[in-house]
Structure formats: structure tokens, C-alpha cells
A and B are shown apart, each in its own frame.
Chain A
């Protein structure tokens, strides 16, 4: 069973979003997503300062077998990226909600509204 923390919100494209205050949102992929992808070996992160749009691809996650698009769960400006994932893509598997965070996005509060709560996402992940 995959973990779905209560304090996060989720996109149907399997990213989590954490409100860290001041219009800043931390983003990563869900435990369910990393389980589906298998061992990750390479990540292509969005550029710092780039504009991302909810539901659009903004990066690439590569496992041994396949490349998968990383979708933006919310619209906004990329304020930070987790550069350490370049050397440690396995953190996405080992700790997707912690060390495996992907980026921080500056967004307005309405971005948060369209996301799923833990219970709703858990239903998708278990379907």
C-alpha cells in the first residue's frame, strides 16, 4: 500500500503539493507514482524562474525502462528546484515526500483549490 499523507494535496497526474506559506508550494511525485515508475535513474527538472501551467508537462522522470513526463500540478513560477536529485534520483523512490521533493513553485492561493485532498487521491491511487 502506498502512503498518502493527510497534510498534502494531490493532482490526478500523481504529484503532491505542500503549502509552505507565503504563496510558496513544494511539489513532488506521490509514493504511488514512484511505485508505478520503478527505480528512477534520471530526472530533468524545470528551469528556475520558468512558468509552469497546471496539467502541462514541465520535466521528465526516467526509470530504467521508460521516460515519463512530470506534470505541473499547479500553475506558477518555479522558485527552487531540488538539484540534488541529479546525483540522487533514487531519493524519488526512497523518500518521495521528503528528500525526493522536486521543486518549489510561487503561485496564488487559488492554485491550491483545484487539488484533491488525501482521501480523494487515495481512491485514485487504489483504483
Chain B
């Protein structure tokens, strides 16, 4: 094997950095932060989230609070999805890409309505700064009255798995979490004040808890005491890919639109709402979208980022954007951006180190509610 060349960069540390080391984490650089990759076994951590409870330090993801008389106007303009869906529903959350004028994806985020015209968005580590500058530019250009407040004093833990919500309710002494609706957040007095959303990035039930940085190790201990397993970025990646969730910067980028990223459902074109990228998205759809993001399942070979995808005639038709060995399915799975894809149940081929392997085309997610989420190939397997 070869080790990556070490490059000296000043990495940011989360409030749980010492806690991770004390619990045997292998730390790696990720998007400018030093984060745990695993605490011994990525497979065991993956399994814990699928069948019990795991928890992740996601303090590299950054909360940004948006308020002021024009907060709603900013978000209706800056997001492909429409925050008007959250009107009158304090605590409700919405997933949306952030687009540029060409309809390209700058980032993806979850926005929570907090009542009184206040919102909280949670931004990806690598793009948080650029997103914030982008929002500030939009505010200035439109003369909006919006207060954008970064929250460097906050940390975030994701507690995920079929038993996660009940366990988090105990750890936070917030029994009301047991009744929290999906994609909804609540605020509680535990640990000096917590913001808890029933959201996540694993395909399992669970919550994401935003709290004061100094309380993060306290919550981590309480979760671990109750049997939750600390999980690193490795398991986070295999879990999200099985759940068919895109990773920004890998499965999507400013060079592709939601139509090309299996995110058409997040683009709200109802009414006349003017949002950044709308004209470009409508034009692309009218002209015909040439590429789509599909799921691939292989019986043999493990697809990896950048591997070529070919059609039945051996012609290149795209490439793998994310590929892993799926711990739940015990085989290779991938997201691939391809032109002229057959529909679900059809077949494409992935070139793995010069060998063509057949792949079943599926609609993500690959794994859902404890079982595979696709039917076997319609064509007879050779």
C-alpha cells in the first residue's frame, strides 16, 4: 500500500478531539478538520447504526442562524426548495441544494424554521465559509435586512440507528423526543440548551443534536454509557451511500444541476418564485437533460470514484461518483453519473482495473428499513 503524501495544513479541531483520541480513534484530515475515521472497525460501527445505535461527531458541519425581516426572502431566493413550505410550522425542516445562477450545486443543506421568521441552516464543512459569503453577497445585492450569525461556539452530534431516538431521549432526559416527528426539530433545556432535529445522514431513524461546545463530551459520555457506539467518517460514508444520499463535492458540484444529481424532487418550480438558478434549470429541462445519477449494484468487483461506466456495446457512458463495498449488501454499490441510462432493472458495466463487471441499475436508496431496496435483475444473470 502507499501512504498519502503528508501536507502540513492547520486543521481545525472539534470540541470532541481529545475525546476521540481517548477512545482510540484513528484521526484523519477531512475538509480542513481533523476527524475520526474509525475507532477500530468501520464495519462494526456500520453494523451498530443499522441494528442498534451509533453516534457521530459532526461538529465540522456548521450551523448558521438567519433572522431579520428578509430572512425568508433570502432563503426563498437562495434555495432550490421553497422555505414557504415551512411557514407556520415552527421546528419543521427542509432539505435543499444551494444553486448558482447556472443551476450548478454549490452545497446542500437542511434548513430549520425556528418561529418568528428565524431559521437555522447547517452547512457542509468544506463549503460553509463560501456559502456564508454567498448569502452575504445576495443580501447586499438585494438590499435585504438579514442577520447572518455563525455559531462557532456550537458542536453537533448525530445519534443514529433504529434505537437511537429513545436512547438520545434518555441521554438528554428529553422524553418528548420519543414523539418528535420526522424532519422536525425541538429545543430543550438539557445540557445548557440543546437543539435536536429528527434528521440524519444514514438512512436510519435518529436525531442530530446541536449544543454548546463544552457540553459535547458530556453528551458523548452519556451516549456511550447507554450503549451507543462511537462511529467515524468511514461508517458515515458507507451508511449514507447505502441510503442513496449524495455527498457534496463528490456526487455533486457546481458543474452539475439537481436534474443530473437525482435531486429533481428538491427543486420547487410551483408558482412564480424567483430563485437563483431557476432560469437555467428550466432551460436545461426544456432542452433535455443528458445525464442522470443512478445507483449500480455489482455481483463482483468493487466500484470506486472515477471508474468508467460502459453501456452494453462497451461504449463509455459515464463514471462512478461514489463507490464502496456495501457492508449491508456484501457487494459493491455505486452512484454513477451516466448518459442514456437504462431504467431500473437494466444493466450497465463498470470497468474495474481493466475488467468489465455487469452492474444492475437501481434507483437509490440501496438499503431501506432493514433490507435491500431493489429487485434482482430482469435479465438473466450469466
Contact = CB atoms under 8 A, between A and B. Distances in A.
Interface residues of A, number: 25
B280 interface: no
Interface in A42-97: 42, 44, 60-71, 93
Interface string B43-72: 100100000000000000000000000000
Contact of B234 (A29, A38, A44): A38
Interface size class of B (residues with CB under 8 A): 10 to 19
A66 B304 contact: yes
B2 A65 contact: no
B325 A42 contact: yes
Contact of B324 (A14, A60, A64, A93): A64
Interface string A8-22: 000001100000000
Contact of B302 (A35, A38, A42): A42
How would you classify the secondary structure of chain B's contact residues: helix, strand, loop or mixed? mixed
B41 interface: yes
Nearest to B352: A67
B292 interface: no
A45 to B, nearest CB: 13
B2 A68 contact: yes
A41 B2 contact: no
B1 A65 contact: no
Nearest to B305: A66
Nearest to B6: A127
A62 B302 contact: yes
Contacts of A93: 41
Nearest to A62: B302
A65 B237 contact: yes
B238 A65 contact: yes
21 contacts: A33-B1, A36-B3, A36-B26, A37-B1, A38-B26, A38-B37, A38-B234, A39-B43, A41-B302, A41-B325, A61-B1, A62-B302, A62-B325, A64-B42, A64-B324, A65-B234, A65-B238, A67-B302, A69-B1, A71-B1, A71-B2
Interface of A: 13-14, 29, 33, 35-39, 41-42, 44, 60-71, 93
